[in-house]
Amino acid sequence: MSIYRTHILLPIDEGTVLAGVFEVKRRLENELKTRKLDKEIKVLESGTVGLVGKGVILTVYPDRMYYFQVKENDVARIIDEHLLKGRVVAGLAHAPVADMATAATAEKSAKVGLTREQRRVVLDKTWTVDPQNINEVLAAGGYRALEKILGDSLSPEQVIEEVKKSGLRGRGGAGFPTGMKWEFTRKAQSSAGRTATGTEKYIICNADEGEPGTFKDRLILEGDPHKLIEAMTIAAYAIGAGRGYVYIRGEYELSIERMQAAIDQAREFNLLGANILETDFSFDLQIKKGAGAYVCGEETALIESLEGKRGNPRVKPPYPVSHGLWQKPTAVNNVETLANIPAIISNGAGWFRNIGTDKCPGTKVFTILGHVEYPGLIETDMGTSLREIIFSFGGGIKGGKKFKAALLGGAAGVFLPEPLLDVKMDFESLKENKAVLGSGAVLVMNEDTSIVDMLFSIAKFFAHESCGQCSPCRIGTQQILQIIYRIRQGKGLPGDPETMLNLAETMFKSSLCPLGQSLIMPIKSALEHFPEEFKVNNNNEVNP
Amino acid sequence: MEAQAVHIPDNEQYRELKKFIEASRGVPGPLIQVLHRAQKIFGYLPLEVQHFVARELNVPLAKVFGVVTFYNFFRMDPVGDHIVNLCLGTACHVKGGSEIGKALEKELGIKVGGTTADRFYTLSTARCFGACGLAPVLMLDEEVHGRLNPQKAVQILRELRAQVQAAAVETNKEEK
């Protein structure tokens, strides 16, 4: 293997592709070749930086310098000035890569929005490593946690204990303690009454990311698929599963492609398959492609879909931990949850507990969207305030407008008004404020946004995605949509807001799954914080 | 309707699908993966194909139909050469996604879900592509176009049509 003096990283995501990253890459490679620098400088593709709207981003290592909005024509200048003379190119937007080690304490100003210091546990490798090259992943510490477990012969019980001690909670939205889920699955009895083992248990990675405004899982799948493989293998070892599935949304073509490539490479390196790392432990992994149904993000619906059926949620209990895929004990974990596992095993539960809050340790990946200066994806400690996320990481409201509300957690989320901006973003603090963390989506709305209009969009979404199995949800979503439609048209009837809330409450109490149970959240919070927008007067007219 | 009663033509497409089904025998719960492949081969899933899948997998036609109609991804009608998929997720909505929908309907003269008379475009909508940072977005075939406004969206569709037409004229010239 040849050694290069400098590496240039080009993050690939939808934004950079749109801005022409592949053209820049081609030009770079050609220019380097003509200048005979291609043996000294290597151009690599990486996962996303999480920064949207900055055009093509180019990072130079080991100089740790970013360039933004790079165009094909800038390539020659970057080579001449930076790569040959070692000078930062003046006149091109640039910023130094923040020092990760001091991220926790450094409170520097957020000059470049999303690239301000972030503590990255889940996304630590997504933008510094070429996800398509397992050698790079291994060099960057990938699979070291798996090696630790199998090499030091940690028992499955010890692994579960460590995860339990870490306090890791599911990042899919519900916040259930991961260690407990694994323990239940491990101890689950098979139908024959003995402890089920090996091929009779399953680990499933829920990558059916469908919550509107959420794309964190996609960026993990594309930026660091090996981390997921490692985590699922560790999970399989802990619960005693012989087979795992990654259920990925059908729309995520690139995620499926990258994940498959990573699985193939891992098999080649004996990190998956029979007798992993020459131990007795065997485990294999398969991708299943979803077919576009929001409800399949619910774990029992996902399992039904994996079995090749309509994704109708099951009645719980029994829970998947005892009666999951093919009625066998199954642990279903979200992508982001799993992505925490290798770091917990490598660094220990104590280290993990030092991050975030007491009851919600660790970091959280947030997607910041809507009317902010820097929409994109960040990872920060649990318990960071909403204000900090919007105004520091997100750069504040775009165009000098005023903040009106934030919708947290996607469509199945909660509207928060200005007075609640200082709420801490973790499961417990949000619960106290009748809000939810959900998937970590933060949709920011400026003063010009109509809450009624937003709620209409949400109601439409629910009406479309209701699977139709439970009548309250099937009919309730349609009725609510009609009511909010007429309020939006200015033809609301007296009592409409109350009826809407009443319907949502019925759905909450009598639906099987979180889809039907959660429409009440946006409705209730909208009515509570923005009642003036829903005022209906007796002439069937809405006040402006 | 008896599954056996439908005549399935013996052609390359069905042979390809049959090969895939044969390869997935023994794998539990293959229906959705088989339908994915079938739609890739045929472009959509007409009843005839559903009959074939039901027969080959030995499951009731009702189950196949149930799965096809449940998932957004599966279609029972033929689509145009190019599919325009407009995102209507909350992030795109707040950035004016529905205005783009109206403009596209007007431009193409069809409603969402429809296909133009010349079978060039099918207009469809989706919940969320996970490209919210670029909102509002649409996907034209496999490609995501972001930060749109109605004019820009219409322009993108016009450009593709012009390109295809120009290419067709070129080929005609060469043939002559």
Domain boundary among B70, B100, B115: B70
- Considering the domain architecture, whether residues B145 and B90 belong to the same structural domain is answered as yes
B102 domain-assigned: yes
Of A293, A369, A407, the CB nearest to B135: A369
B123 domain-assigned: yes
B159 domain-assigned: yes
Beta strand pairing call for A41-46 and A6-11: parallel
Mean pLDDT on B115-143? 87
Contact residues, chain B, for A371 at CB < 8 Å: 94
**Under an 8 A CB cutoff, do A213 and B74 touch?**
no
Q: Is any Cβ of chain B less than 8 angstroms from the Cβ of A133? A: no
- Considering the domain architecture, whether residues B65 and B148 belong to the same structural domain is answered as no
ipTM of the prediction: 0.84
Contact residues, chain A, for B88 at CB < 8 Å: 457, 460-461
Task: Please tell me which residue of chain B has the smallest CA distance to A291.
Answer: B73
Read off the pLDDT of residues A418-457 as tens digits, 9 standing for 90 and up.
999 999 999 999 999 999 998 899 999 999 999 999 999 9
Question: Token pair for residue A322?
Answer: 């005892």
**Under an 8 A CB cutoff, do B130 and A209 touch?**
yes
B103 domain-assigned: yes
3-state secondary structure B136-170: CCEEECCEEECCCCHHHHHHHHHHHHHHHHHHHHH
User: Residue A2 — very low, low, confident or very high, per pLDDT cuts 50/70/90?
Assistant: low
Q: Which of residues 361-420 of A touch B (CB under 8 A)?
A: 367, 369-371, 375-377, 407, 410-411
Contact residues, chain A, for B53 at CB < 8 Å: none
CATH architecture of the region A6-97:
3-Layer(aba) Sandwich (3.40)
Is the torsion defined by CA of A217, A305, A310, A191 positive or negative?
Answer: negative
User: What 3-state DSSP class applies to A51?
Assistant: strand
Query: Which residue spans within chain B are E strands per DSSP?
Result: 82-87, 121-126, 138-140, 143-145
- CATH 3.10.180.10 at A451-534, yes or no: no
Indicate whether A113 pLDDT > 80. no
B76 domain-assigned: no
Secondary structure element (H or E) that encloses residue A90, with its range: none
Q: Is any Cβ of chain B less than 8 angstroms from the Cβ of A447? A: no
The alpha-carbon gap from B145 to the nearest alpha carbon of chain A, in Å, equals 7
Mean pLDDT on A193-211? 77
Read off the pLDDT of residues A498-534 as tens digits, 9 standing for 90 and up.
999 999 999 999 999 999 999 999 999 999 999 999 9
Q: Which of residues 95-124 of A touch B (CB under 8 A)?
A: none
CATH class of A363-446: alpha beta
- Could you write out the DSSP letters of every residue in A445-496? EETT--HHHHHHHHHHHHHHH--SSSHHHHHHHHHHHHHHHHHHTT-PPTTH
Give Cβ neighbours of residue A464 (< 8 Å, ≥ 6 apart): B127
**Under an 8 A CB cutoff, do A292 and B36 touch?**
no
pTM of the model: 0.86
- Considering the domain architecture, whether residues B97 and B157 belong to the same structural domain is answered as yes
Indicate whether A458 pLDDT > 60. yes
Mean pLDDT on A380-401? 90
CB crowding A117-140: b at 16 or more within 10 Å, else e: bbbbbbbbbbbbbbbbbbebbbee
Nearest CA to A486 among A541, A543, A412?
Answer: A541
Q: Is any Cβ of chain B less than 8 angstroms from the Cβ of A15? A: yes
Provide the number of CB pairs (under 8 Å) joining chain A to chain B.
Answer: 139
Of B73, B128, B133, the CB nearest to A15: B133
User: Residue A193 — very low, low, confident or very high, per pLDDT cuts 50/70/90?
Assistant: very low
The alpha-carbon gap from A37 to the nearest alpha carbon of chain B, in Å, equals 33
Q: Is any Cβ of chain B less than 8 angstroms from the Cβ of A47? A: no
Any idea where the domains of chain A sit in the sequence? 6-97, 134-353, 363-446, 451-534
pLDDT value at position A107?
Answer: 31
Domain boundary among B21, B50, B70: B70
In degrees, rounded to 5, the angle at the alpha carbon of residue B127 between the alpha carbons of residues A46 and A11 is: 10
CATH architecture of the region A134-353:
3-Layer(aba) Sandwich (3.40)
- Considering the domain architecture, whether residues B61 and B121 belong to the same structural domain is answered as no
Q: What is the total count of domains within chain B?
A: 2
- Considering the domain architecture, whether residues B57 and B122 belong to the same structural domain is answered as no
Q: What is the CATH number of the domain that holds B163?
A: 3.40.30.10
- Considering the domain architecture, whether residues B87 and B63 belong to the same structural domain is answered as no
The alpha-carbon gap from A348 to the nearest alpha carbon of chain B, in Å, equals 33
Domain that holds residue B42: 3-70
Contact residues, chain B, for A326 at CB < 8 Å: 28
B77 domain-assigned: no
Read off the pLDDT of residues A236-264 as tens digits, 9 standing for 90 and up.
999 999 999 999 988 888 899 999 999 99
User: What 3-state DSSP class applies to B110?
Assistant: coil
- Considering the domain architecture, whether residues B129 and B159 belong to the same structural domain is answered as yes
The alpha-carbon gap from B49 to the nearest alpha carbon of chain A, in Å, equals 17
Q: Is any Cβ of chain B less than 8 angstroms from the Cβ of A521? A: no
